Structure 1
Amino acid sequence: MATDRALAGELATAAGELLMDIRATSGLTGKELGKAGDLRSNELLLERLAAERPDDAVLSEESADDKNRLSADRVWIVDPVDGTREYGTDGHTDWAVHVALWSATDGLVAGAVALPALGVTYLDDAATVAPTDGLAAMPRTDRPRVVVSASRPPAFSQAAADAIGGEVLQMGSAGAKAMAIVRGEADAYVHAGGQYEWDSAAPVAVAQAKGLWCGRIDGSPLVYNQDDTYLPDLVICRPDYRDAIIAVTGAG
């Protein structure tokens, strides 16, 4: 039997391959492509989890919330397509598949983020991350980069960048932004425009394993498998930038 970490990676990768095939062969575009991708990726993830971890609960963006998960020891938190708009837009690589496992005793214990259009899946392990230029269209300067939502950038975006002497870049997908920091292409990700547990669970699991700081904009911990799955804000950053960024985001 695969370990939980290996299974998370296998599922995220398989769902990503399916999504790439749908994108290439369905003839769909825009919202219709996004809907089809969400549906079929979710079906794949649920079927595989039911077969390989039948005793675990699942929280998915694309399924009804079964509140039995609140008393479960283990809950898989999945986002079948993170960045649906980007997935449905030709040429975009900033979309992802998120698969995370939460434990009642230890919190996030496994996570995988697949970036299918870049052909890579990141796990919550200590393995060295190979360079993959997901920001090729945004040439790197010598200033730190703060990535924010392209559709809902927080009001303090520029203040957070100024706090570390950096610049603001807009991207889609929480997973894509978080993995840009994991790769060292960006230095912080700040968000306050509203998210849910499935948006951040897998990216946070991976980012923490790679030594990054992850928390709420006021510096408090991120808590998962709650009755209300709304988890509206997030900071992922290099540890040495944490205090400067929280001083701005926490006040905002």
Structure 2
Amino acid sequence: MTVEISDSRLANHIAEGCGDILKGIRSSGLLRGLALGDAGDVLAQEWISRVLDQHRPEDGFLSEEDTDDLTRLQKKRVWIVDPLDGTKEFSTGRQDWAVHIALVEDGKPVCAAVGLPDLGVTFKSSDVRAVTGPLSRRFVISRNRPPAVSKYIAEQMGYETKGIGSAGAKAMSVLLGDYDGYIHSGGQYEWDQAAPVGVAIAAGLWCSRLDGTEITFNNEDTFVPDLVICRPEIKDEVLAHAAAFAEANGNS
């Protein structure tokens, strides 16, 4: 008989357990590089799938590491996960990789967890609050593909930019107050964004597309072109500069 567990506790436990699995695989020192990343992706995915099959067999499922059979589109409740966000960072010994677990109902995250295992912390939508106080006047952006729009907005606002690996690590750095916003363009997928957005919204941060529209999940096309997560007091200025950039570059 399966012990009943709430959605939020399940999300939190999956994120923490997945982090433990990934750290265990890496700490053995028996795999390196691509082989290490591949093993982490496969083993973490298999464990998550088995946990959800046992505890939430009626829910839909979407993961970077699993085949999308689109039956999720008929489900009200869908788990959207990335067992290892930042495979390159994980494989090369960096700390800026993450575990993403989110439950979405009718397109919106209702509970989410972002684990940063190397830092020993899991951010949970059930118990989270963003840092307030003075602005850092810094934006966090993609380390591997810094988008032109983020640099434009930073220049207009007199901000510095810093590149970090995982989308989850970037989003949580805003929550911690290290940066005032995370600006991304150039494309991601729903599993990159669902858990970070779910935690960020619960913490009181602003989350939207760069044109200000709400981000929804469990779409047939899982590609999401862009994202902004920022402190609410600067969101109007960020979105205004994003609109100006789009107009100047013929994307209006």
- TM-score computed with the length of structure 1 as normaliser: 0.91
Quick one: which of 142, 145, 151 aligns to 2:138? 145
* RMSD over aligned Cα atoms: 1.6
- What amino acid sits opposite 1:96 in the alignment? A
Aligned equivalents of 2:22, 2:97: Cα separation in 1: 11
Quick one: which of 202, 206, 216 aligns to 2:199? 206
Other-structure match for 1:8 = 11
Q: Does the CA-based 8 Å contact 1:78-1:198 persist in structure 2? A: yes
Quick one: which of 69, 92, 95 aligns to 1:93? 95
Q: CA offsets per residue over residues 163-201 of structure 1, 9 Å max, x none?
A: 333110000000000000111111100001210000000
Residues 26, 54 of structure 1: alpha-carbon distance in 2 compared, 3 angstrom cutoff: farther
Identity of aligned residues (%): 47
Other-structure match for 1:138 = none
- What amino acid sits opposite 1:187 in the alignment? D
Q: Does 1:118 align with 2:111?
A: no
Correspondence 1:128-143 to 2 at 5 A: 128=129, 143=136
Residues 148, 37 of structure 1: alpha-carbon distance in 2 compared, 3 angstrom cutoff: same
Q: CA offsets per residue over residues 123-146 of structure 1, 9 Å max, x none?
A: 11344579xxxxxxxxxx974110
Q: Give SS of 2:225's match.
A: coil
Aligned equivalents of 1:127, 1:191: Cα separation in 2: 23
Q: Does the CA-based 8 Å contact 1:146-1:160 persist in structure 2? A: no
Quick one: which of 67, 70, 84 aligns to 1:64? 67
Aligned equivalents of 2:27, 2:130: Cα separation in 1: 28
Q: Does 1:249 align with 2:251?
A: no
Q: Give SS of 2:82's match.
A: strand
Aligned equivalents of 1:19, 1:37: Cα separation in 2: 6
Q: Give SS of 1:233's match.
A: strand
Aligned equivalents of 2:136, 2:172: Cα separation in 1: 18
Quick one: which of 16, 38, 56 aligns to 1:53? 56
Other-structure match for 2:164 = 171
Q: Which runs of 4 or more aligned residues in structure 1 lie more than 3 Å from their structure 2 counterparts after TM superposition?
A: 126-130
Other-structure match for 2:208 = 215
Aligned equivalents of 1:55, 1:142: Cα separation in 2: 44
Aligned equivalents of 1:238, 1:12: Cα separation in 2: 25
Other-structure match for 1:226 = 219
Other-structure match for 1:23 = 26
- What amino acid sits opposite 1:201 in the alignment? A
Q: Give SS of 2:126's match.
A: coil
Aligned equivalents of 1:14, 1:197: Cα separation in 2: 22
Aligned equivalents of 2:128, 2:234: Cα separation in 1: 23
Q: Does the CA-based 8 Å contact 1:125-1:210 persist in structure 2? A: no
Q: Give SS of 2:222's match.
A: coil
- TM-score computed with the length of structure 2 as normaliser: 0.91
Correspondence 1:97-108 to 2 at 5 A: 97-104=99-106, 107-108=108-109
Aligned equivalents of 1:183, 1:51: Cα separation in 2: 34
Residues 113, 68 of structure 1: alpha-carbon distance in 2 compared, 3 angstrom cutoff: same
Structure 1 residue runs of 5 or longer lacking an equivalent are 131-140
Q: Give SS of 2:211's match.
A: coil
Q: Does the CA-based 8 Å contact 1:19-1:37 persist in structure 2? A: yes
